[in-house]
Amino acid sequence: MSTTHTALDREKVEEFQGLAVAEAAAAESAACCYLGDVLGLYEAMAGAGPLTSADLAARTGTHERYIREWLANQASGGYLSYDPHERTFELPDEHAAVLADPDSPAYVAGIFPIIAAAWASADRAADAFRTGDGVGWHEHDPRLFGGVERIFAPLYRHQLVQDWIPALDGVHERLTAGARVADLGCGHGASTIVLAEAYPASRFTGFDYHAESIAAASKAAAEAGVGARVGFEVAAADSFSGEDYDLICLFDCLHDMGDPVAAATRARRALADDGTLLLVEPQAGDDLADNLNPISRLFYAGSVFLCTPSSLAQPGATGLGAQAGPSRLLEVLAEAGFTHHRVATETPFNLVLEARP
């Protein structure tokens, strides 16, 4: 396909060309951010004040010439401040909270290994586009699994107990008194462990079909000192064990499932008569026009490479997608037989839904 150059608005062409180049710079620079993460460069700069390239290389055991080029990239992107007189670079404290402090609620460095994993599967994704085949979660580059834990764990640590649980009717009180909880699609167990630490009278079981993630979750629970009250099992969300749970949680995973209605139906049947389902999904509006913003753009990209392929690889192949929106999610809950369901609260990144049998 060709365009008739004389028919184009040259100013609009150049404007969009500039946007495309800026996007390419950001995409390639994300690989530099990945290096900053895995090499501990951000961590070494956090709180250290102005540093030369030689200083940072010495702190991190890296080669100064590579560090010099990396610092230039990061300064040109606004990640670092640069003093041209002293030829020093500094990671502002506000940026360190985003890039170097896993305990910060603003921490997002886990996104970089996720991006690396997405690029690693790009050719396979292209094949899937042609064939319609799915790509199972377990088939991705292993950097994905740790990255997902790192990107979501700060949300759980700073919002799950503080905001999401209190938004549910009577659930905080029940957990405080002692309850049985299932965490479906638990991954590395970050959400399960946060709940277990907050509610010592309750017992928790995390389920995930990915055996490697379950092994990592079991190890993390033992290290956190909650292993006596937390167990993990390899199981799919539509066939996990146990009944009469007081609370069943699905954190950012229902849309990844081949048959979300079947998973929600199994959860409803496994709940106690007065139990609660907690469903957390990515923030989205009900229509594409509601989602033309940077956060949804990120979620749609993740859905292209991870969420939709995962669903299409499973029985049912619903392909709900990471931006289903509240109306569609509530429809899934209704189809699963929940008679009471609502959006309990929301954040810029999450929809938090409550459902009862």
Whether the predicted pLDDT of 69 surpasses 90: yes
Which residues lie closer than 8 Å to 167 by C-beta, 6 or more apart? Answer: 344, 345, 352, 354
pLDDT of the residue at 7: 87
Confidence band, pLDDT 50/70/90 cuts, at residue 128: very high
- Is the domain of 65 the same as that of 140? no
**Domain harbouring 200, CATH code:** 3.40.50.150
Tell me, yes or no, whether 107 lies in a domain.
no
Mean of pLDDT values over 100-118: 96
Tell me, yes or no, whether 278 lies in a domain.
yes
Q: What is the pLDDT of residues 206-236, one digit of tens each?
A: 999 999 999 999 999 999 999 999 999 999 9
Tell me, yes or no, whether 54 lies in a domain.
yes
- Is the domain of 137 the same as that of 24? no
Q: Which of 69, 101, 133 is the last residue of a domain?
A: 101
Q: Which of 45, 76, 101 is the last residue of a domain?
A: 101
- Is the domain of 173 the same as that of 211? yes
Mean of pLDDT values over 313-331: 97
Confidence band, pLDDT 50/70/90 cuts, at residue 124: very high
Tell me, yes or no, whether 53 lies in a domain.
yes
pLDDT of the residue at 3: 56
- Is the domain of 79 the same as that of 129? no
Tell me, yes or no, whether 106 lies in a domain.
no
Range of 92's domain?
Answer: 5-101
Task: Name the domain count of the chain.
Answer: 2
Instruction: Please give the Cα distance from 357 to 289 (Å, whole number).
Output: 33
Mean pLDDT of the chain: 96
Q: What is the pLDDT of residues 331-348, one digit of tens each?
A: 999 999 999 999 999 999
Instruction: Please give the Cα distance from 277 to 271 (Å, whole number).
Output: 8
Whether the predicted pLDDT of 146 surpasses 90: yes
Q: What is the pLDDT of residues 233-286, one digit of tens each?
A: 999 999 999 999 999 999 999 999 999 999 999 999 999 999 999 999 999 999
- Is the domain of 293 the same as that of 207? yes
Q: Lay out the sheet containing 245-251: strands in order across.
A: 230-234, 203-208, 180-184, 245-251, 271-282, 350-356, 340-346
Q: How many CB atoms lie within 10 A of CB 345?
A: 17
- Is the domain of 15 the same as that of 80? yes
- Is the domain of 333 the same as that of 241? yes
**Domain harbouring 80, CATH code:** 1.10.10.10
Whether the predicted pLDDT of 2 surpasses 70: no
User: 27-33: long-range contacts at Cβ-Cβ below 8 A with a sequence spacing of 24 or more?
Assistant: 29/73, 29/74, 29/77, 30/112, 30/115, 31/115, 31/116, 32/70, 32/73, 32/74, 33/74, 33/79, 33/99, 33/109, 33/112
pLDDT of the residue at 5: 60
- Is the domain of 208 the same as that of 236? yes
- Is the domain of 134 the same as that of 263? yes
Tell me, yes or no, whether 108 lies in a domain.
no
Whether the predicted pLDDT of 327 surpasses 80: yes
- Is the domain of 271 the same as that of 144? yes
Tell me, yes or no, whether 297 lies in a domain.
yes
- Is the domain of 197 the same as that of 269? yes
Tell me, yes or no, whether 124 lies in a domain.
yes
- Is the domain of 89 the same as that of 119? no
Q: Which of 48, 73, 101 is the last residue of a domain?
A: 101
